[in-house]
Structure 1
Amino acid sequence: MSNLPTPTVLLSRYFNHLKMNNWSATTISRRDYVLNKFITWSSERGIESVTEITPESLAAYRRWLYHYRNERTGKSLRFCTQASYLSTVAHWLAWLTEQGWINSDPSTGIELPKEEQRLPSSHLTIDEIETLLSSVDLTTPTGLRDRAILELFYATGMRRAELIALKLDDINHESGLAMIRQGKGRKDRVVPTGKRALGWLMKYLHDGRPALLDDDTQVIFLTSRGNAFHPVTLSQLVRSYLSAAGITKPGSCHMLRHTTATLMLEGGSDLRSIQTLLGHEQLNTTQIYTHVSIKRLREVHDKTHPGAKDRPPQSDTE
């Protein structure tokens, strides 16, 4: 094909297509990273045009992903990461085929690696979460803010980005509901805050937030500079409280989300309700919490398994 645009130009057009179809900026940014990596990998191997991408070169790329090791940690890519990289490349190639930039899709028939069935990261016990919450210094505006943040994470199980994006109008103080706008998958949902979390949020809004407010903003949680939190900064903040409380389990914001789901399941909640609370699109995403709710499983096992009872061994003379 004469006058074929470079892969970088075609990539830019692809992203414009995604934007026109209302793909989220986060997803586009992630695909930008993955596809530019693929273009660089291809160029290093003499592939300068999308028409030169073949099933054989994609098979070589898959092998490269499998053998790749992080220079700093020496760790390999998880199979779910490899599958994500390959599916992203495949989607771009399918679009190039639909647009007529290449005659046939070289990714057709490519086999993605099976993803691992992993348990969620660590979760806190009820005692640990109460220790964490009570460790906050409530004599300062930032302390009131931090208690409200931890309480809201624990009560709602919302994602880090969802909490950062909360606006004043997103909280219905009468009904005790929080509106999460444009969560993962660009979907809105409403979640209960719980009375305790709502009480701490109200105290922060009344006694803490005005001292942090610089410019007029609707964002609820503000840094000491009056800005919205950066995701990394919020994770560091939560991690600092976990460390101060003597909790060494790995994780921060997302661990509180796992804690919410696990403790609710152990308390008798059904999976559908937890799915709605967490904003999972598929129920099988929520079902993974059944693997960590060992307390419930042990209770059922003790009540129903005939071998669970403490029976004395039978004597040979009996």
Structure 2
Amino acid sequence: MTDRHPSRALRWALRFHPAAYRAEHGAELTAIYVQATQDAGPLGRLREALDVAGHGLRQRTGLGSDRTAGQVLAQAAPLAVALATGGSVANLLWFFTPGIGGLPSSSLPGVLLLVNQGVMPLLWLAALAAVWTGRWSAARALVVPATLLRLADLPLLLLAHLFHDTYAEAVLNLTVPLLTGAFILAAPRDLLGSSQPQRAAMAGATALAVVLWAALLAGVYYPLTGGPLITHALWAGVLAVALLFVRRDRLPAAGLAVALLPIALQMTMPLLYPLSPAGVGALLVVVLSGAISLVRARRRRTRVTPPSAV
């Protein structure tokens, strides 16, 4: 019985690959699976089967390691973990900051919300440590429950009567963790590892998250010119700078832009609905930066592509 379960899981995992790819590389994938699970338990075999299925999905969606999109996601994944870790710690501090968040009530939803906010940073910190040491299988396994806990925030906030935002912000509370988790889980596994440049980028992303979240918290007590929400525009500004540096030979900048996208979207929403001068400025800066990057990429393709013979 135990011998049939891995083969059944592998057969289902192979179905995620395109038929042509499965016919050409099915035997190779099977051999790799058998070798990887030789001394593994049920969870290890399931994890390897999920890796095979994920490889198939990346082949179908054009996110393989040989595609630019997959290479950008590989750059974005560790930075997304770092930014999500900073965000989860900031969410916990928000509850304990006087005059801002306030601890939830002693009701069951309030207690569950506080437990959720306490466990989530621990999971993300563990994922960050796993990425730092190159243990990506463990990191991605931790990202799944961390994302599920983040998704549970909204219903718990509603049950605890602590959610007073708009419908659009409620949708973003679900969209942002889904995007972050998808970016991390969709990155090609063979491009993920641990290197000195990657660790330096993660340290920089963590420091960036600390600075931006600290500015957001400080802006409540010491509002900048333009109102307390002006600090939200800083996220859009950083995203715009990353977009300006995006080039085909600068994948880290593209990875940073992708990693920043979910949280920048969430932070700028209060500036766009209702529309404020800071929101107009943030939107224009991001759109112009993206347009400049697209124009550069188009010119580069035109320069590289030889003219066709007449």
Higher RCO by CA contacts (8 Å cutoff, separation 6 or greater):
2
Structure with the larger helix share: 2
TM range (shorter): under 0.3
Structure ID, larger Rg: 1
- Normalised by the length of structure 2, the TM-score is 0.20
